[in-house]
Amino acid sequence: MSPLQIYNESRYGTLNNLDYRNDIGVFPRETHSASVNTLSLDGIYNRFLLSGSSDSSIKLWDLQSMTVDEVSGQRRFKPSVTLPRKSVHSFGVTKVKWWPDNGMWLSSSYDFKLNLYDSNTMDVAHSFKLGSRILDFDFHPLGDISTVACCLDGGVGGLKLVDLRTLSDTQNLGGGGKMMGGVGYMSSCCWSPASPYLCIGGGVEGSCYGWDIRSSNKFLLELDVNLTAASYKKKQSNKRKRDLKLKCKAHHGAINSAQFNASGTELITLGNDEKLRIWDMCSFRKPVNKALNFGPLIRNKTKQHIELCLSPAAETEVSFLWVPSDSGEVLVYRVEDGSLVARLNKASDRLGQNRSYSVVCTGHNRVRYFSGCKDGSISVWGHDDLKQKQQSDIPVPFDNGVDLVEPE
């Protein structure tokens, strides 16, 4: 553990909303005219931020380009490129994401289209028309293969795979419906960093599957909330095994977020049952539920895809998970033991509009994060050195350890 990691972990004790600060870059009050559904920061420079909104617009922000307000002196980011409403998508944008080498980026929408963009011109290079609303998509984090997995709310279900090299629909994982041996509709997906061929899909009924995209057979693995490290080692009767197999689910509600850690050894899922679960993908022959208790504060009933955020692997030794909640709070947890680190909220006069849908980290060991909110704004969160200074300025009363007793 390096001294920098120790210092960064100590900074998580003073997390706060930084929208009030004038000395750091913040975003305009109304970044978009509708809710900001998705954010994506480039992984090479940590400089260019994409934001997609329910009003079908997309904006590119250069985090090194700011304007200074003449009255307040506040430094504000300004959009470098704006793709107006109805220009590239007809309905709300569900997700935007940079390709690992920054040469291109993708966006999905409720208008059935998955768009591929050239980063140099910001023009649409190709558009996939998939015939159903796209709830989520993902690709390998290193870009080792050109395949993109998409979650659709119609058609035959499962995961739709498209190939960016041949510009064609390659195959469908788990399609055909449950009556035909399929797995139903998927609401979230993620690609394993450990393997370019392992793709995970979370279903609207709470089931979660993993596929080897090279195989045309059924799913490779299935997550079961009842399968923990203790129950895996315990011998069970054949009848008990059959009963558990029939009830095999990862959540008791739709899974609207799934994400691997940087090494691919653990999978994080969030469901409409308001449960956050961590899965050990490597210690046993099957993925097991680590059965961590994250407490009762998570509120997650939305059907929309939620983008969680893990702290960078090199920033701290212990990973911190940022979870947007329906209550308007952004909850920060230690992934190691599920303990709550911070409950963050921003001051607003708009009741019920503080809810965040996406959180991204700015990197560079700054302990700073951005979140896209329902009111159309992008909030800044992170270590508040002013708050830390105010706490250190509070005088501590001296106590010599002796109780003074007044004489009678």
Question: Is residue 26 in a domain?
Answer: yes
Question: Is residue 157 in a domain?
Answer: yes
Instruction: Name every residue whose Cβ is closer than 8 Å to that of residue 352 and which is 6 or more positions away in sequence.
Output: 328, 374
Q: Give per-residue pLDDT as tens, 57-93.
A: 999 999 999 999 888 788 999 999 999 999 999 999 9
pLDDT at 180 over 70: no
Question: Is residue 400 in a domain?
Answer: no
Question: Is residue 207 in a domain?
Answer: yes
Tell me how many domains the chain contains. Answer: 1
Question: Is residue 330 in a domain?
Answer: yes
Burial 286-316 (b: 16+ CB within 10 A, else e): ebbbbeeebeeebbbeeebbbbbbbbbeebb
Question: Is residue 316 in a domain?
Answer: yes
Q: Give per-residue pLDDT as tens, 95-144.
A: 999 999 999 999 999 999 999 999 999 999 999 999 999 999 999 999 99
Question: Is residue 210 in a domain?
Answer: yes
CA–CA distances in Å: residue 266 to residues 14, 213, 285, 318:
27, 20, 14, 14
Residue 320 sits in a domain whose CATH number is 2.130.10.10
Three-class secondary structure of residue 240 per DSSP? helix
Q: What stretch of H or E contains 287?
A: none
Distance CA 66, CA 28 (A): 11
Distance CA 326, CA 357 (A): 9
pLDDT at 252 over 60: yes
Helices H, strands E: what count in the chain? 4, 28
Q: How confident is the model at residue 306 (pLDDT cuts 50, 70, 90)?
A: very high
Q: How confident is the model at residue 351 (pLDDT cuts 50, 70, 90)?
A: low
Distance CA 396, CA 202 (A): 51
DSSP 377-406: -EEEEEE-HHHHHHHHHSPPPP--S-----
Mean pLDDT of 185-210: 95
- Print the domain residue range for 152: 3-391
Question: Is residue 164 in a domain?
Answer: yes
Can you give the pLDDT at residue 114?
97
Find how far residue 369's CA is from the centre of its chain: 12
Assessment of whether the complete model's pTM goes beyond 0.75 = yes
